Amino acid sequence: MWRNLLAEPGIARGLILSSPKHLRVDEWAIWTPAMLSQARQNPPFPIENPSLGAGRAPLLMSVPVAYYTTFFRPQLWGFFVFDFEHGFSFYWCTKVFGLLLAVAWALRQIGVRSYLLAIFGAIWVLFSSYVQWWFSSPGMLPEMITTWAICLGCAVCFFKDRHHGKLGLALAGFIFCGTNFVLCLYPPYQIPLTLLMLAILAGVWLEKCDKEDSKSTIRALLLIGTGLLAIAIMLIPYWIDVRGTLETVAHTVYPGQRRSAGGDLSLFKLFAGVLGFFESEQTVPAVYDNICEASNFYPLWPAVVLATLFARFRNRTRISPLLATLSIFLICFGLYCVMPLPAWLLRATLLDLATERRALLALGLANIFLCCFFLDRYRAAFLSKTTAGICGAVLWLGVVFLLLRGRTTNAVYFSDPWHWIQPLAISAAILLLFFWEALRFRWLPTVLGALLIFSNAAINPVMSGLGPLLGSNAFKEIDRIRAQDPDGKWIIYHTRYFAQLVKATGAPVFNGTMIVPDLALLHQLDSGANESTYNRYANIGCEVPRKSHEVSASLVYPDFYILFLPPDLPVLANAGYRYMLFPKEWTDGALYGFTLIEKITPGDLWIYRHD
């Protein structure tokens, strides 16, 4: 993407597989420049970096920080051992392979006996549309899933194992990964995932309570309590250091004051995972802003619930407690997503701090764990051919109904026959394999896994190094100016992307993506009339006012606003902002007291300095 933005000639250097996706801006334009900014500070990896946000913003982010909490975040260790590009590669590899191993191990721990099904479940998680499109984002999604899965597996060990050595290792793993999980600091994901973990542990305990004595339960609860207490103690210095920054975030309009009441999703959005194969940035249903928001998990759980109920009431087959708790979780969270719930219930479960859209992650994982456990436990045929055919037909007609409902608000999208044929054909194949009991155990994981890999494996490109960014002429020239004047601060006009480019050099930058608003400086620029606009986590674009010399702000999205900022304000000059970058010639620069010092090509970037 940087090669395209900077109009660099030739093919992207280092590109191995697939192609960059513009909508993955969280990765290429926010997180990668933020990591580079941390590495290029003096000294490197500070706990305060004003270019990323006010206060101690780096401690709230998934970026390398020279601080004790990094010990609990092995994904970041490579930055302190290798050069930056190899450290970056290590970071990505831990996200990919750590997620695969952790999810497969957690599935084995909860009772999935088949190694192949555990591997299938891990592949389903990794190559789901949702995980791939949100792979590198402020929510630190892969790290969060990985640490959650390890904590879940360790907690299950507390109920199952009696060997003191294994229990000690499980407790250490629970504390280590639990600390990492907490440090992800994204409640909209963490709260639903925690509730899912409780549902799974309740199911595991119910499965074991007939076989184990009460001492095993007491031991497990004591170990979980000990682990949670140890995590809290480990993080006391962290909370002390970051408390002021967290208070600022808590009082922001977004996300601090955001609250959920439930019911924000339609049935179409809840089950839109049926469309989650062979997606692209260009074809998105109109109810979504982009393909990232449209991503989801393929919802196979209604088939599992329906088959389990038939087995129970027709054949008197015992329902596994774990299947029951996972099914209850999926139904309850599905209701939370599509209908408002009482405020007291949302406060009690902390779901008022989550969002329905982010709850799809926990729903997706519960869906995958439920299906893998069902496939492992229900291998023998228990439905008649007639019943299986009826169940499959009813669910397939449910997909037809879902698409018909979606068409009312997405007429253009569904005017393409492919957007009917593809989901209906794939759903027919999946449901056929699910209810054809002789083929289900072997062929359903094979076909669904292959579909997920072929559909989504190319969403995130594979690169060797960061050549398109670090090797660009624009980066080198801006870095040269920064090296000559490291204290000089920058403001970038007309585009927020180039603000991130300048940040990547280590230069201090006013705008771009700011995790925590610098209210002290913003209050000096503005009397307070625009505080509701700028008091937020935001991507900040700057423009030169045309009709006045006043500072004003315009909110575009909840996380994006434009600040109309006169470049010659004394407040800015006194704060050290003397470099202005424009993506075209600034003909009025001299009127504001600025002189052109560099024109960068390719890229057509114009850099001005205050006289």
User: What is the per-residue pLDDT across 102-119, written as a single tens digit (0 to 9) for each?
Assistant: 999 999 999 999 999 999
Angle at 67 between CA 170 and CA 233, to 5 degrees: 45
Query: Average of pLDDT values for 31-40?
Result: 96
**Judgement on whether residues 294 and 334 belong to the same structural domain of the protein:** yes
**Judgement on whether residues 226 and 268 belong to the same structural domain of the protein:** yes
**Judgement on whether residues 216 and 174 belong to the same structural domain of the protein:** yes
Question: Which has the closest alpha carbon to 124: 477, 449, 417, 382?
Answer: 449
* Domain final residue, candidates 397, 428, 456: 456
**Judgement on whether residues 143 and 212 belong to the same structural domain of the protein:** yes
The Cα–Cα gap between 298 and 407 comes to 19
* N- to C-terminal Cα separation, the chain: 34
Question: Which has the closest alpha carbon to 320: 380, 384, 370, 388?
Answer: 370
**Judgement on whether residues 376 and 482 belong to the same structural domain of the protein:** no
**Judgement on whether residues 112 and 234 belong to the same structural domain of the protein:** yes
Query: Average of pLDDT values for 213-224?
Result: 88
- Is 340 inside a domain boundary? yes
Asked if pLDDT for residue 582 goes beyond 80, the answer is yes
**Judgement on whether residues 420 and 511 belong to the same structural domain of the protein:** no
Least confident of 15-24, 168-177, 457-466, 534-543: 15-24
- Is 462 inside a domain boundary? no
The Cα–Cα gap between 308 and 293 comes to 32
Query: Average of pLDDT values for 276-299?
Result: 90
- Is 112 inside a domain boundary? yes
Question: Which has the closest alpha carbon to 270: 334, 190, 355, 365?
Answer: 334
Complete edge-to-edge strand list for the sheet that includes strand 538-543: 512-514, 538-543, 560-564, 552-557
Query: Average of pLDDT values for 412-417?
Result: 90
Query: Average of pLDDT values for 169-173?
Result: 97
Domain boundaries, position 598 = 469-610
- Amino acid, res. 295: S
- Is 76 inside a domain boundary? no
**Judgement on whether residues 450 and 522 belong to the same structural domain of the protein:** no
Asked if pLDDT for residue 315 goes beyond 90, the answer is no
Inter-CA distances, 543 with 332, 564, 589, 608, Å: 46, 5, 13, 15
- Is 4 inside a domain boundary? no
Least confident of 177-186, 198-207, 361-370, 377-386: 377-386
Asked if pLDDT for residue 20 goes beyond 90, the answer is no
Whether 567 contacts 469, CB under 8 Å: no
Convert the pLDDT of each residue in 430-475 to its tens digit: 999 999 988 999 999 999 999 999 999 999 989 999 999 999 999 9
* Domain final residue, candidates 432, 456, 480: 456
Asked if pLDDT for residue 545 goes beyond 80, the answer is yes
**Judgement on whether residues 243 and 323 belong to the same structural domain of the protein:** yes
Query: Average of pLDDT values for 21-49?
Result: 94
What percent of the chain has a predicted confidence (pLDDT) above 70? Answer: 99
Confidence of residue 611 (pLDDT cuts 50, 70, 90): confident
**Judgement on whether residues 369 and 487 belong to the same structural domain of the protein:** no
Alpha helix positions (H), 485-597: 497-504, 519-525, 531-534, 570-575
Extended strands (E) in 418-569: 462-463, 489-492, 512-514, 538-543, 552-557, 560-564
pTM: 0.95
- Is 461 inside a domain boundary? no
The Cα–Cα gap between 23 and 83 comes to 28
pLDDT at residue 351, as a whole number: 97
Confidence of residue 286 (pLDDT cuts 50, 70, 90): confident
**Judgement on whether residues 236 and 312 belong to the same structural domain of the protein:** yes
* Domain final residue, candidates 456, 482, 511: 456
pLDDT at residue 383, as a whole number: 84
**Judgement on whether residues 292 and 387 belong to the same structural domain of the protein:** yes
pLDDT at residue 19, as a whole number: 85
What percent of the chain has a predicted confidence (pLDDT) above 90? Answer: 80
Q: State the average pLDDT for the chain.
A: 93
pLDDT at residue 210, as a whole number: 64
Confidence of residue 344 (pLDDT cuts 50, 70, 90): very high
- Is 93 inside a domain boundary? yes
- Is 32 inside a domain boundary? no
Convert the pLDDT of each residue in 53-98 to its tens digit: 999 999 999 999 999 999 999 999 999 999 999 999 999 999 999 9
Query: Average of pLDDT values for 23-48?
Result: 94
pLDDT at residue 212, as a whole number: 65
Look at the chain and report how many structural domains it folds into. 2
